[in-house]
Every structure is written in structure tokens, then in C-alpha cells.
Structure 1
């Protein structure tokens, strides 16, 4: 549904532009194209230069570097541990083998 509407809209815009450009003489088309090219070039240069000039200005909060802090883990009691140790591997004590 939405694709059909966008498709119809793009066809109408294309038809309108073809009609408008078809009514112009070749010299007029050249003037229009060069004017638009000049306008877009000037705008592009303006945005580039203004963004380079304003780089780094503003609040210091946005550029503050903070260290990563360790995550706070909740320690559960060993009684509620999901993995139960069935063997005791305590090698420090001296016990007799069977």
C-alpha cells in the first residue's frame, strides 16, 4: 500500500520535472543546472567550514572521558548455588585413603 503511494508520487514528480525541463530551451537548462550546482557547492562548503570552526566548542560535559568502572556483582550464598560440588578436593589436609 505504502509502496504504491510512493511509486505514484515519484511518477508524478518525475512527470512534472520532465514537463518543466522540456519547456526550457537548452541555454535556459544550462543556466538552471549551473545555478543549482553553484548553490549546492556553496552550501556544502558553508556547512563544512562552519562545522570545522565549531569543532570542540561548547560544553565540556560532552567531551569528558571517564574510566570504565567494574561491574557490581551480587554474591549469592553458597547454599543457593546451582552447581553443587560432590567431591571435596582439599589436598592440604592429611587424611587416610580407604
Structure 2
């Protein structure tokens, strides 16, 4: 059901776009295409450059590097009950 709805929306948008583009001359179509290409390329370059420029800037905070801490392991293992090291005494 969702697939059919999406297909109808795509067909509707495709029909409207073809009808709109069919009315303009090839020269105007080329101008629209080049304008869109220029706009999206400028937006892409802006996003890329601003991402690189802001990389590492965490509003004055720096990344603190710490050593890896050892994990506290349980002495009692629920899987291997044969190795009962506490000999029945509570710890």
C-alpha cells in the first residue's frame, strides 16, 4: 500500500515536471539547469569548507585523553559454577 502511494506521488511529480519543462525553450532549460548546478555546487562547497573550518572547535572545550581503566571482573561466574573460588563463604 505504501509502495503504491509512493509510486503515485513519483508519477505525479514526474508528470508535472515534464509538463513544466516541456513548455520552456531549450535555451531556457539549459539556463535553469546551469543555475541549479551552480547553486548546488556552491552549497556543497560551503558545507564542506564550513565543516572543515569548524572541525575541532568544541566551543572552547578540548578533548581530554585518559588511560583505559581496568574492568572490575566478578569473582562468581554464573556460567561456570564448577570454579567456585569462595568455597561457600560470602564475600
Matched, 1:9 2:9: yes
Structure 1 CA distance, aligned partners of 2:19 and 2:71?
A: 65
Q: What is the total number of aligned residue pairs between the two structures? A: 80
Question: Unaligned 5+ residue runs, structure 1?
Answer: 85-98
Q: Secondary structure at the match of 2:67?
A: coil
The residue that corresponds to 1:58 in the other structure is 58
User: Shift of residue 52 of structure 1?
Assistant: 1.1
Structure 2 CA distance, aligned partners of 1:64 and 1:3?
A: 49
Please give the root-mean-square deviation of Cα atoms over the aligned residues, in Å: 2.0
1:63-85 deviation digits (Å, cap 9, x = unpaired): 333332222112129xxx6226x
Taking the TM superposition and a 5 Å limit, the aligned residue runs for 1:20-59 are 20-59=20-59
The structure that has the greater radius of gyration is 1
Structure 1 CA distance, aligned partners of 2:5 and 2:65?
A: 48
The residue that corresponds to 1:82 in the other structure is 81
Question: Unaligned 5+ residue runs, structure 2?
Answer: 84-91
Q: Secondary structure at the match of 2:74?
A: coil
TM-score, normalised via structure 2 length: 0.76
